[in-house]
Structure 1
């Protein structure tokens, strides 16, 4: 199954077009490799998705084309959620 479709069906990302945009920005990896929206996913793959200042890592448990909302959570297991440190801009002090 394509990555963008899996993200939509599993409800990790609500809309397929949004999943495609996130993937095209290089914010999703599959097994530590940057993924495109068209990348194929399979059971036991690890996804890392960067949402703003947070990275969610999940393992794919099952792949289905159509699932009910309450069954979608069984398609993956969240392994960890990490907050990214905000990087403050560095200013150069010209006073010499």
Structure 2
């Protein structure tokens, strides 16, 4: 599954266009390697996403083409969430 679609379906990022922009800015890594919006995501991959002042690391648990809002959080597990101070 494409990275931008996974982020939207799992609701880690609300819109696919926003997920594409974040990936194009180099703020997403898959298993430690910088990822593009078109990068492939597999079960077991570790995503690191930089949201402004916060860095979230999540592990992919399930891949689904569509999901309901209450099931979206089952697609990933949050490994860590850190605040980053940019000076």
Does TM-score exceed 0.5, indicating one fold?
yes
2:45 corresponds in structure 1 to 45
Q: Which runs of 5+ in 1 are unaligned?
A: 88-96
How many aligned positions are there?
87
2:27 corresponds in structure 1 to 27
1:56 corresponds in structure 2 to 56
User: Separation in 2 of the partners of 1:33 and 1:25?
Assistant: 14
Q: Bigger radius of gyration, 1 or 2?
A: 1
Q: Give the TM-score normalised by the residue count of structure 2.
A: 0.98
Which runs of 4 or more aligned residues in structure 1 lie more than 3 Å from their structure 2 counterparts after TM superposition? none
Q: Give the TM-score normalised by the residue count of structure 1.
A: 0.89
Which deviations, in whole Å up to 9, do the C-alpha atoms of 1:18-75 show, x marking residues without a partner? 0000000000000000000000000010000000011000000000001110000000
Give the CA RMSD over aligned residues: 0.5
